Amino acid sequence: MSKEFLIATHNMKKRDELYRILSPLGIDVKTADQLGIEITDVEETGETFYENALLKAQSGCDESGMPCVADDSGLAVDYIAGAPGVYSARFSGGHGNDEANNKKLLKILADVPVEERTARFVSVVCCVFPNGDVISARGECEGYIGFEPKGDGGFGYDPVFMVGDKSFAELSPEQKDALSHRGNALRLLAEKLTAYFG
């Protein structure tokens, strides 16, 4: 029972995370590039992770005629009132400049003691079907912001997001999937999809 789903992202690392978790369900996650189609890069105008994930999944489904999965995720740092939140990818001004985003965050927290550096990664994953059905799931992972980047794996804020004594960027993909916000959201989505396909 293989099902092809479009994922509304050009980020292959994100696609790989989705693939690892959804492929056991017989779901083959493909990017638009892999399918040889073009989809619009949706402007993320939502005020919540859910709104942005839904915007992207709805647009991808409408344009491809396929079930489409999209996630919107980000980092919420308690010391700066939950920022950068939905603006995580463009925290430093441009979009997706991981190094600049991490530098800005570390600068803001430069003199903040470890006990006040609590943070969580949040991911909301939406799946929109051509018949209009929507399934969504939210996952979180608690941690804290380190004092310097560590590790060379992962992407985004992974080098500065600490769980215990390791950053996300120091974990193997399997270790990260077991803990991560996206892993938690996708496992919940997988449960909901299993029930949906019955």
> Token pair for residue 32?
């638009």
CA 35, CA 112: separation in Å to the nearest integer? 46
Known catalytic residue at 72: yes
CA 15, CA 127: separation in Å to the nearest integer? 14
For 21, half-sphere exposure in the C-beta direction (CA atoms, 13 angstrom radius) is: 27
Distances (CA, A) of 61 to 33, 36, 87, 95, 151: 15, 15, 24, 24, 36
- Return the C-alpha torsion angle 156, 157, 163, 167, nearest 10: 80
* In contact, 148 and 114? CB cutoff 8 Å: no
From the candidates 16, 33, 71, 72, give the one annotated as an active-site residue.
72
Q: Which residues are catalytic?
A: 72
